Amino acid sequence: MRFFTRVSVATAVSLSLAAAVQAQTSGTINARAIVRQPITITAGQDLDFGIVLQGTPRTIAETAAAAGRFDATGTASANVNVNFTLPANLVSGANNLPIGTWTGCYNQTAAVNSSGCTTIASMAGTTATTFGNVAGAGRLWVFVGATVSPAAAQAVGTYTNTVTLTLTYF
Amino acid sequence: MTRAAWTLVLALTGLVSSSAAQGVLVAPHAVVIEHRTRSASITLYNPGSEPAEVSIATFFGYPVTDSTGDFELATPASPGTLPSAAGWIEAYPRRTVIGPLERQTVRLLARTPAGLPDGEYWTRIMITATGGRAPVVIDSAPAGIQVGLNLEVRTIIPLQYRKGPVATGAQIDRPRVTRVGDSLVVRARMVRQGNAAFVGTVRGTLVDAANRTVASFAVPLAVYTEIDPRFPLSVAGLPAGRYRLVLELAAERADLPPDQILKASAASADVDVILP
């Protein structure tokens, strides 16, 4: 009886496959997916100083439209830690262009820095900085401002350095 | 996952609108490797419009709390007696370039040392992505100076390697509450039990004299050794009186697959709260 059942099933499957090949009849299946929140951090907007003159410091506030912005997503209410590594200078060969007075704020509800953006007090320095845990709805926008201070005789060249934002998921 | 599926995920997370973004999406955000398979994978996706240079590294670290109750990652130079997997978990590839709207699977392979005792071993996976450059021009006659800021983002996720029987649990000790403005600051010491990290959720419930819930919070967390975290709880608008705060630790996480979560008995503690 068990053997018969197996043959019957096999036959039925074969017949079904044959029918499918020959007729290409339509049908429906159920699809199931479990969506889990990935973790993402991206540099959403560059820190844009625009035109800067020799000998004239230029400041972009963290609340300005030109402020740099990092976007992060994760699980709602999760404990994450955000850490900046901020350079003290932009470098061109042996020449330095000082960057001072880094400022920052974060918003957990919208990509808005003009209001509702919590100041990151510990960003006053220029070294690695950690600002607490960011819980909430799973979205986080971090805004960064800074001051560049070119000397009056700032050497011509291409100045670069790296701003690193690290998101640690616990 | 197909590009369409990734697009759906990005749409859900609101990243599609950030077409100029530089960085990578990392999934999953926690990895468990079983000794019988000795491998796992993570998927990286570049939601940006420019290629992203990505590197993957491992290092030893585990979450602790500082004196204010904030979480931070302890990264001792040597793991000492703590179970580190950092030396024998390898990522392939370790460096890659991911094109715009493309994905890359990274294999994580365990090359366990001979005679590795049963237990759970920890490491952290660090995914570093670079790409964006912000051009800044300093105008000066007759020649200008070009200045660029390279933007680099790093994502650090936990990895746990399990060999043989593992068990976990957590104990809540010394719950305490401090009033700060219109909120309570809730703190409690949590100590891991067993030989594996406790991964779960802490729930705080404030009940009044009639045992009605008047405020609550739920926060996913992990207890690797011991922590003393801080949780804010708004009590704005609550009348003066006597309340009770109940803290519960449960081995549940909505953001992780159930088979990654080790079963553990729930733990709880409570403390009286008087609102003046």
Is residue A72, in this structure, part of any structural domain at all?
yes
Domain containing residue B220: 168-275
pLDDT tens digits for range B70-96: 888 999 999 999 999 999 999 999 999
Q: Is the pLDDT of residue A151 over 60?
A: yes
Q: What band does A29 get if pLDDT is binned at 50, 70 and 90?
A: confident
**Alpha-carbon distance B71 to nearest alpha carbon in chain A (angstroms):** 6
Task: Please tell me which of the candidates A44, A160, A162 has its beta carbon nearest to residue B18.
Answer: A44
Q: Mean pLDDT score of chain A, rounded to an integer?
A: 72
CATH value at residue B234: 2.60.40.10
* Res A77: pLDDT: 64
Q: Best of B8, B136, B261 to disrupt the A interface by mutation (most A CBs within 10 Å)?
A: B136
Same domain, B64 and B91: yes
Residues 6+ apart with CB under 8 A from B161: B32, B33, B35, B85, B89, B110, B112, B120, B121, B122, B123
Contact B92, B81 (CB under 8 A): no
Is residue A16, in this structure, part of any structural domain at all?
no
Is residue A31, in this structure, part of any structural domain at all?
no
Among B163, B195, B212, the domain-final residue is B163
* Res A142: pLDDT: 86
Among B102, B134, B163, the domain-final residue is B163
Using a CB-CB cut-off of 8 Å, the residues of chain A touching B21 are 42-44, 71
Prediction ipTM score: 0.78
Compare A109 and B113 and report the one with higher pLDDT: B113
The reply to whether B140 touches chain A by the CB within 8 Å rule is yes
Domain count, chain B: 2
Q: CA-nearest residue of chain A to B198?
A: A170
Same domain, B37 and B76: yes
Is residue A140, in this structure, part of any structural domain at all?
yes
CATH value at residue A132: 2.60.40
DSSP designation for A14: H
Q: CA-nearest residue of chain A to B159?
A: A170
Strand ordering across the sheet containing B267-275: B213-223, B198-207, B241-250, B267-275
Among B103, B133, B163, the domain-final residue is B163
**Alpha-carbon distance A33 to nearest alpha carbon in chain B (angstroms):** 10
DSSP designation for A154: P
A77/B9 CB distance under 8 A:
no
Same domain, B45 and B96: yes
Is residue A28, in this structure, part of any structural domain at all?
no
Residues 6+ apart with CB under 8 A from A101: A59, A124, A146, A147
B28/A160 CB distance under 8 A:
no
Q: What band does A5 get if pLDDT is binned at 50, 70 and 90?
A: very low
CB pairs under 8 A between A and B: 196
Same domain, B241 and B123: no
Is residue A1, in this structure, part of any structural domain at all?
no
Q: Is the pLDDT of residue B193 over 60?
A: yes
Is residue A53, in this structure, part of any structural domain at all?
yes
Q: CA-nearest residue of chain B to A129?
A: B72
Q: For residues A126-154, give the mean pLDDT.
A: 74
* Res A100: pLDDT: 76
Is residue A94, in this structure, part of any structural domain at all?
yes
Domain count, chain A: 1
The reply to whether B220 touches chain A by the CB within 8 Å rule is yes
Domain containing residue A141: 40-169
Q: Mean pLDDT score of chain B, rounded to an integer?
A: 87
